[in-house]
Amino acid sequence: MGLLLTKMMTVFGDKEHKVVLVGLDNAGKTTILYQFLTKEAVHTSPTIGSNVEEITVRNTHFLVWDIGGQESLRATWYSYFCHTEIVILVVDSTDRERLTVTKEELHRMLAHEDLQNASVLVLANKQDVKNSMTAAEISQCLTLDTITSHSWHVQACCALTGEGLPASLDWMRTKVLAN
């Protein structure tokens, strides 16, 4: 009965799907959150703690938590993971030097039991910047093809213009409706 009710709530659009936005500081997480919400680029400051917004995509509701990415805050990400259906890992595609740090954070997160059933969306952000890494390069450096425990997808985007973000939301919607 509980399962049937959950399914019906999903069909009628009442269920909220929990999403967490993680990634290193300056990756563009907060810019993405508000681009999802308002379709505009907002001015941001480094996030201390988190922001949360409800994003609705064709009757599917996501509760999106945007968490600060500074080194001292990364341990707090784990306290947000319970019941998370989608982890969005935002990558600054211009930041070649710290991609190995992102890779370590990603593989550490995926080992966490609260994320066992979560799907992973990697956003290769800042594609507007000349010579930024492509989604394929990022995918290779993060060794995404070795991930068999979780469903994953990589998407190139630009949080300033919103390019690539509607496709990301479509992927998220398809994922949660399939579960």
Ligand X SMILES: Nc1nc2c(ncn2[C@@H]2O[C@H](COP(=O)(O)OP(=O)(O)OP(=O)(O)O)[C@@H](O)[C@H]2O)c(=O)[nH]1
Phi-psi sector, 127: left (phi>0), alpha (psi -120 to 50), beta: alpha
The reply on whether position 125 binds Mg ion by CB under 5 A is no
Q: Give the pairing of strands 16-22 and 60-67.
A: parallel
CB nearer to Mg ion: give 101 or 177: 101
The reply on whether position 164 binds ligand X by CB under 6 A is no
Vertex 105: Cα angle to 161 and 82 (nearest 5): 85
Task: State yes or no: is 116 an active-site residue.
Answer: no
Q: Which of 9, 101, 129, 177 binds ligand X (CB under 6 A)?
A: 129
Element counts in the chain: helices (H) and strands (E): 5, 6
The 2-41 site mask, x for binding Mg ion (CB under 5 A), equals ---------------------------xx-----------
- Binding residues for Mg(2+), as ranges, are 30, 47
Q: Which residue has the tokens 């990756």?
A: 27
> Residue 6 Cβ, how far from Mg ion at the closest point, in Å?
32
* Binding region for Mg ion (CB under 5 A): 29-30, 47
